[in-house]
Structure 1
Amino acid sequence: MSDPIFREVESQNAKAKEINWKNSSDEIISLLVPTTVYPPREDTALLDHCISKLGDGNGKKLLEIGCGSGALSISAARNGWKVTACDINPLAVVATTGNAERNKVNLNLFEGGLEVESNSDFAQLCESDAPFDLIIWNLPYLTPPLGEEPRLGPMEDAGLVDRDGVGWGEILLSVINQTPTLLKSGGAMYLLHTNNTRGNLLQSIWRQSGWATRIIGEDDLGDGERLTCFSAWKPFDGKPIEWHQELNSTNIFMLNERREIGDCVVAIKQTDGRGQRNREWITRDGDFAGSWRLDPELYDKQIGVIQLSAALSVIDAYCAITNRPLASSHWINCATLGEQGISIRWPNDVWAEEGKIAGCLIEGRQVGEKQTIVLGIGVNLKSKDKQEFPLCGIRDIIDNEITLEEFAILLNCSIASLFELHPLAQLTTRHYNSIWQLMSNYLSKGKGLLQEGEKLSVNGITEEGELLCHDGVDVRIVNNSFTLEWV
């Protein structure tokens, strides 16, 4: 018998530990935790905090994969959720059963979990309680040991260690895509991971498969280790993109037509596209031209922030295409993008080293009390061509080919991730640091501003998306691009 297995068998005979765990509502949950069952730790507290921000569950259904001691499931049940929980460790199922009785809550429990080869049994076990409003998983995120490195026992390994090859976060993605009835329409996933290489790429992988993602909680553990909890959902409740062979302007079309929030139209050919200052936007064959109807509540965030966030969404799509960590997930990811020359030029442009990749335009219309907000984005997908204004295509800076349809789906996921008002994924301003870093990528090339002939240095952005500048004497807030020239 190998040492890890022997140690695990021995530990099963050890006395279970009594823990009084305080959840995010300051309630004490009494737990009896066997030694081979995962106890509540910092990651448990972070995931519990994210769930608690949703308020009373009001009987909505929640599935916890890998319930461990049952701390999260019990906390959610106390807060009004109807909870189903599972674990592949039979001792965890026993512990959760006993702990639920201790704390006088009802849970539906079963032994099982995701498998590498087939998940039909898991799906069948879940389907009796499906569809779920929320599915949560504190993913096993320890890096698999290499060669002769020490290993955990089988049950500890299953609960704590990610697997070689395709990780558990990707296996779950495959299961949800193959069994969409597990998640209710409008439902969401909460996945917690660490900032190792695989964890940093996980949101990009979910975006590639047509999901919107948004970070809803983080915990810095020190020494460079960071826990992240993100929500994943189908963009705008799975609305399909509306394709048109030809439109004069996708923004004008959306402003003139009756459309719902989250609707997206894409024109294969746009004949009269416009940019800032009503300048002509040239859309070549094969380039992207599309518009979204956004929630008027976003207007409180100011046009400047929306346009900068839209530029960030284009860069997120680029990150997903090239299998990089998302720019919006952490400013560090944006700093490395600077090596490829990827940047944001205030107020609304995306640039690469060779030239402009994309532009964004917010337009609104008020009729009585009804307000309409439309976001238009034009992206050069084709290779650059020789024009007076330097243009760069997405295909110039990626190694793999991407079609217009594939790019539209990725960008739609990025737009939903930054703009959709989803009840299970609260909007945050945490991506502002990413925007500033991407602007810094542009400024680091020695770029400066002229305002009516006066040179300004750029020092930051406000929460409203305005530029914080310095004229050599005073700080100046700039919110009008019409008087500016980049030099």
Structure 2
Amino acid sequence: MVEARFRIEGVGEWGVSTTNSVYPPKEDTKMLCRVVSKLAKGTSANAVEIGCGSGLVSMVLKTLGWEVTAYDVNPYAVACTRGNMDANGISGKDSIYEAEFGQDFPIPEEADLIVWNLPYLEEDVNNPGILEKIEDVALTDLPQGGWSRILLDNLEGTSIKLAENVIVILVMRTEPEGSSKVLDWAERGWSWRSLGMERYGSEKVETIGFWRTGSGAKVTILDSCKSTMDEAKSLPSNGWQRVLARSQTNGRGRRKSDWISKDDGLFATWSLDAELLENISPGLIQTCAGAVVSEVLGANMKWPNDIVNRDGVKMGGVLVESANDGTIRVGIGLNKTSFEEKGIIGAGWDETIGDIDSSKVFQRIDGGLSAFFENKEMMAMPDVDSYSRISWKELSRFLSRGVLVSRGNEIFRPTGLNAGGELEVVGIENAVNLRDLEGVRWFVSKS
């Protein structure tokens, strides 16, 4: 029997006893406990823990006022969790069950939160039988999608209401990536946000929060319109709202310039809550949105709002406008294929990610934007540094090729991005922040 005590400042302290056949609380368990301690409860607070092990996570949730149902395939873990709850004076041990997920495991439809410290060890095919069966299930992930995909299949096959309203928090190994993958969720219309991270040698383990993008709010889809930016003015003011047009006849870019809209491209606008501006500048919203698009397309981003191919040829752009109705509109226009028209040359995403339909590209961008801008009351929004990091990461791919800018008679080298979304540049005589493209020229290497 191993005994230890764990404490979270401002939440509580718990004694935990485990036997040799039960996974003891380790750094990944503590990380998950810290994450759940920061979640905000709503009027309904029903949590499910899969693989409760020692019971520490369930006890933290119970201490915070959640109603908890917990499961484990290991009967010793079930007994351990119940015993630890008794020892800490925590009620609810009758809601701890022995069950194998995917077989006799029921997820209540009223669940608001699911937590699981996923097994992330790879199966050792060269040394089978080292672990007992119950230890193998607790510690080893499954091949071809892992336990994560089993959970995803279960959620989407059980109840639409559950899938659209639940928050799922998983501990996953992301470097090197294991069988359970974040991408599986993203490809099926779920948004995600990293809530915690630990490194153990060469391994990176993260606590990831997942939710159905928009929580079931449908996309407004139009066959044709003049401009999705204008159409977005009539979207409802609550929830994750966006409009997608199959064709656009009068799109616009920066400073109300015309945007040539090819019929096989993507034309969409998202309506965001203006409360974002209390913490994030419009410039940083624009660069972050551009970074999401650039990452999805495997393209480059040219400050402040252009999406370009490797040679700097434009394939799309991002436009941000604030309105008096308490919303911010983020418009995105992208070409699927390259073209030359009226002396204008455009690139397309078929150069970078291939012949992918615009609806699939939209889904990926929708999830990426949701990760940064959709307000989920249970989880905190990303901090300002998160918006800056992804913006600079995507800008750097373009700038790393020795890109220079000029303004007036002076040549500058880009060196950073500030919290206002302004480009920091350094010249021979001084350093300045560029607020817009007035008088700015780019010099892009063709190598």
TM-score of the superposed pair, with normalisation by structure 1:
0.84
2:288 touches 2:390 (CA, 8 Å); kept in 1? Answer: no
Task: In structure 2, give the amino acid aligned to 1:459.
Answer: T
1:244 touches 1:265 (CA, 8 Å); kept in 2? Answer: yes
Displacement of 1:56 in angstroms is: 5.7
Displacement of 1:59 in angstroms is: 5.8
1:43 touches 1:192 (CA, 8 Å); kept in 2? Answer: yes
Aligned counterparts, 1:394-405, within 5 A? 394-399=349-354, 401-405=355-359
Displacement of 1:425 in angstroms is: 2.7
1:424 aligns with 2:378: yes
Task: In structure 2, give the amino acid aligned to 1:353.
Answer: R
Output the CA distance in 2 between the equivalents of 1:253 and 1:143: 49
Q: Percent identity?
A: 28
Aligned partner of 1:297 in structure 2 is 275
Displacement of 1:191 in angstroms is: 0.9
Displacement of 1:212 in angstroms is: 0.9
Task: In structure 2, give the amino acid aligned to 1:403.
Answer: D
- What SS does structure 2 have at the residue aligned with 1:145? coil
CA change 1:397–1:306 in 2 (3 A) is same
1:45 aligns with 2:30: yes
Task: In structure 2, give the amino acid aligned to 1:360.
Answer: V
Aligned counterparts, 1:6-405, within 5 A? 16-23=1-8, 25=10, 27-55=12-40, 60-107=45-92, 108-115=95-102, 119=103, 121-123=104-106, 126-127=107-108, 130-148=109-127, 151-180=130-159, 183=162, 185-199=164-178, 202-221=181-200, 223-255=201-233, 259-300=237-278, 301-318=280-297, 342-354=299-311, 355-366=313-324, 370-381=325-336, 383-387=337-341, 388-399=343-354, 401-405=355-359
CA change 1:408–1:154 in 2 (3 A) is same
- After superposition, the C-alpha distances for 1:385-407 in whole angstroms (9 at most, x for unaligned) are 235444322222225x4222222
1:135 touches 1:183 (CA, 8 Å); kept in 2? Answer: no
1:413 aligns with 2:367: yes
2:268 touches 2:332 (CA, 8 Å); kept in 1? Answer: yes
Displacement of 1:307 in angstroms is: 0.8
1:277 touches 1:482 (CA, 8 Å); kept in 2? Answer: no
Output the CA distance in 2 between the equivalents of 1:141 and 1:263: 36
Displacement of 1:350 in angstroms is: 2.1
- What SS does structure 2 have at the residue aligned with 1:69? coil
Q: Which runs of 5+ in 2 are unaligned?
A: none
Aligned partner of 2:399 in structure 1 is 443
Task: In structure 2, give the amino acid aligned to 1:202.
Answer: K
Instruction: Report the RMSD for the aligned CA atoms in angstroms.
Output: 2.2
Task: In structure 2, give the amino acid aligned to 1:432.
Answer: S
Task: In structure 1, give the amino acid aligned to 2:316.
Answer: A
Output the CA distance in 1 between the equivalents of 2:338 and 2:181: 31
Displacement of 1:264 in angstroms is: 0.8
Task: In structure 1, give the amino acid aligned to 2:350.
Answer: R
Task: In structure 2, give the amino acid aligned to 1:114.
Answer: F
Q: Which runs of 5+ in 1 are unaligned?
A: 1-15, 319-336
1:24 touches 1:48 (CA, 8 Å); kept in 2? Answer: no
More displaced, 476-485 or 37-46?
A: 476-485
- What SS does structure 1 have at the residue aligned with 2:314? strand
Displacement of 1:152 in angstroms is: 2.1
